[in-house]
Structure 1
């Protein structure tokens, strides 16, 4: 039947013969600049771009002048024109990436109002950074757009992403009641402790909050019964003693990526199932910081997915280790950045001892560039007796076949109970890549 269909196909068919629904689907992958240009193809294509539910205005995709020069005026004219021609139909996403200067303030204000009030965008993304190369020789690096937060009161924005803006909050933020806003991402934004409190109180249904490269907080407190996901990245200040306190009983996921809070407080979090921490190792103090974050797991005993570095041996020898009764009974998925030295294996053995129901483990090789520490005698023989009664699959990334790695594979084979397979991803050499090697049907331990 398929051959018959091909036989009767009209060889003269073109893109113009496709249904509008298919053409619109194709246009969703285009930046708005390219989508608008398709209106020149034919009469059928002319109105299609204006029916898209996505508007992506990307300055980095805008054609340069000849000779190359600042073309922000032309970009602003294009956005103005596109929004004038666009019918006031609701859209799913309004995205803008632009290198801001104060002389474009009125333009950006009108674009934001149009996206929020006329187009009723469900997602609003404003990026005024793009990439550092756009700012190196441009005085506009010191110019920041003052985002009028109150404009959201007139819209239906559920997801807000702001990069490199000034944030002006209304005096009566708590009374705004932005019930539509459920997710907020702030990058390179100055925030005081009160700003954070006001944002949460003014958005009563906020469930996701991500702060990246933000500064100004000293004693940040996040209290919300609706919050489900928190992520903090690159928040550090070596000159201040900043702290964070989290009281979110329905929190499901939390992530710390290179954050240097001196004090971490997590109220009992019975709903927390995803926990992630990543710290770039620089000095010995980073181990202490990592240990303080991992200690938060004592307030979240029901974690199912864990992503972190294998500095567990440092935790064993720290002044404030985990309590002896602590267990991760619900942990079934572990992603670990680790080496395979004696110290690494001791730490891994200790972590496996806490995770009796672990089923899947992904190991990403990293060289800690640190000598093996002093291992407590009570843990010194743990690597030869891994406790992994429920472990079904182990994936090893960046495998180079060192003796330490081979020894670890042998330990897995020797002490596996229900292990079904080991998946090995060899490290790439130059442009040469290797297919994963699967060691399956691991014999059960007798």
Structure 2
């Protein structure tokens, strides 16, 4: 035996080679096979330890786009006359020998569509065995989803790519167990998608990527908690180099949504009608966007009720109340940050810790219509300890109404930490009160705070 083979041997104290794989129980081996494409799982019939274990699989994942490979199954008398180059025959053999009473997952990937009849059989085979996860992925639109799918009561997760949905006005759509729906590269109108969604009473997560005809998404279903959109294909390039124009606008009206993730979108084409219930929103702009409008400022009002809103490297956070779990964000990459307190005030300690972890921060916005405070013993240590914010240049205090001790402490912390700060702007809601005795005392205290940056100016607006 050569040296390379010896490296992979596992031997006992007596020098006898140990076959760890053969010692594994059938349940673990079947689980390992379930992670493989069905073609590879069937190949293990030639391994003595695996034998017929593949016939107990509860998953079928078939990629018809893989190159056909010939195998010799002469030693497997239960699988005679098999030719791996004939996908249709292979599908029939799989359905014939698979013994599992339940098939949890069926995923099909096809390049064109020469095996429509066999694919229909395979999907029906899985549905009869109470499939929970169904995926149908094509490279064109040659396949039509069987209508029986739209009346299935066992499917929990449905994933479709470049297929025809296959329902008409007369089709009754009702999938009582469906919780996740993913639609990739579909060419369907607004009304058809609206009709489709109406048939999923328990749908919780909706993913739509690269829709070709969809221009608006309107639903008020309280069950849908998460929506993920990728609308980059709503843009198209003309023949002229370095010239881009936008094809269609996309409107989003989802008053009961909780989580919203939008990837690769040009904000110039996006209309957010009602996202008032969203608690977490993350938006990534398309690299081809060229508009200089500050959409971050505009979208803050749209997501005013959100606990967190991110637009690329810009973030808006609704702060935690004092006494609750503190802001424990790890070091982040945010360059712009806006902070808003909850109704009864927010934790000053959490804000200071958050700013320490925002090492790339260039601009900070603080909404000061509600006070900041903290009843923690750690606050004095946090405020007095050294901290350096190397990139922060602009700080804006908005919706300022009256002096408060917490705001003074926060401003003092920022002034002594921001080494390149240019200005701190305080935007007062009631300018006529700026000259009151209380305000004069507030301004006098600000003027006495030490500043890490010699250029830092405090301005009331």
TM-score by length of 1: 0.62
Conservation of the 8 A alpha-carbon contact between 1:337 and 1:363: yes
RMSD: 4.4
Per the alignment, residue 391 of structure 2 pairs with 408
| Correspondence 1:123 to 2:133 | yes
Per the alignment, residue 421 of structure 2 pairs with none
Per the alignment, residue 180 of structure 2 pairs with 183
Runs of at least 5 residues in structure 2 that lack an aligned partner in the other structure: 1-11, 72-82, 236-244, 321-326, 379-387, 395-411, 418-450, 453-461
Per the alignment, residue 405 of structure 2 pairs with none
* Aligned residue pair count: 336
Per the alignment, residue 77 of structure 2 pairs with none
Per the alignment, residue 52 of structure 1 pairs with 57
Instruction: Mark the CA change 1:53 to 1:364 in structure 2 (over 3 Å): closer, same or farther.
Output: farther
Larger mean Cα displacement after TM superposition, 148-157 or 107-116: 148-157
| Correspondence 1:329 to 2:319 | yes
Q: Deviations over 1:188-225 (max 9, x none)?
A: 11110111111111111111111111121234322211
Per the alignment, residue 146 of structure 2 pairs with 148
Per the alignment, residue 310 of structure 2 pairs with 307
Per the alignment, residue 163 of structure 1 pairs with 161
Per the alignment, residue 254 of structure 1 pairs with 260
Instruction: Mark the CA change 1:79 to 1:226 in structure 2 (over 3 Å): closer, same or farther.
Output: same
| 1:71-150 equivalent positions in 2, closer than 5 A | 74-87=86-99, 89-101=101-113, 103-116=114-127, 118-129=128-139, 144-150=142-148
SS of 1:25 mapped into structure 2: helix
| Correspondence 1:193 to 2:198 | no
| Correspondence 1:243 to 2:250 | yes
SS of 2:159 mapped into structure 1: strand
Tell me how far apart the structure 1 counterparts of residues 109 and 359 of structure 2 sit (CA, whole Å).
34
Instruction: Mark the CA change 1:169 to 1:29 in structure 2 (over 3 Å): closer, same or farther.
Output: same
Conservation of the 8 A alpha-carbon contact between 2:253 and 2:275: no
Conservation of the 8 A alpha-carbon contact between 1:38 and 1:46: yes
Conservation of the 8 A alpha-carbon contact between 1:305 and 1:334: no
Instruction: Mark the CA change 1:308 to 1:85 in structure 2 (over 3 Å): closer, same or farther.
Output: same
SS of 2:165 mapped into structure 1: strand
What's the offset of the Cα at 1:37?
1.2
Tell me how far apart the structure 1 counterparts of residues 38 and 358 of structure 2 sit (CA, whole Å).
41
Tell me how far apart the structure 2 counterparts of residues 192 and 259 of structure 1 sit (CA, whole Å).
19
Conservation of the 8 A alpha-carbon contact between 2:234 and 2:246: no
SS of 1:168 mapped into structure 2: coil
Tell me how far apart the structure 1 counterparts of residues 273 and 89 of structure 2 sit (CA, whole Å).
49
What's the offset of the Cα at 1:9?
12
Tell me how far apart the structure 1 counterparts of residues 116 and 109 of structure 2 sit (CA, whole Å).
14
Tell me how far apart the structure 2 counterparts of residues 242 and 197 of structure 1 sit (CA, whole Å).
18
What's the offset of the Cα at 1:265?
2.9
* Larger Rg over CA atoms: 2
Instruction: Mark the CA change 1:385 to 1:145 in structure 2 (over 3 Å): closer, same or farther.
Output: closer
What's the offset of the Cα at 1:262?
3.2
Instruction: Mark the CA change 1:240 to 1:332 in structure 2 (over 3 Å): closer, same or farther.
Output: farther
What's the offset of the Cα at 1:107?
1.7
Conservation of the 8 A alpha-carbon contact between 1:62 and 1:75: no
Conservation of the 8 A alpha-carbon contact between 1:302 and 1:329: no
Conservation of the 8 A alpha-carbon contact between 2:84 and 2:90: no
What's the offset of the Cα at 1:41?
1.4
| Correspondence 1:265 to 2:272 | yes
Conservation of the 8 A alpha-carbon contact between 1:307 and 1:335: no
Instruction: Mark the CA change 1:38 to 1:64 in structure 2 (over 3 Å): closer, same or farther.
Output: closer
Tell me how far apart the structure 1 counterparts of residues 15 and 24 of structure 2 sit (CA, whole Å).
13
Tell me how far apart the structure 1 counterparts of residues 331 and 95 of structure 2 sit (CA, whole Å).
45
Tell me how far apart the structure 1 counterparts of residues 25 and 262 of structure 2 sit (CA, whole Å).
47
Instruction: Say which structure is richer in helix.
Output: 1
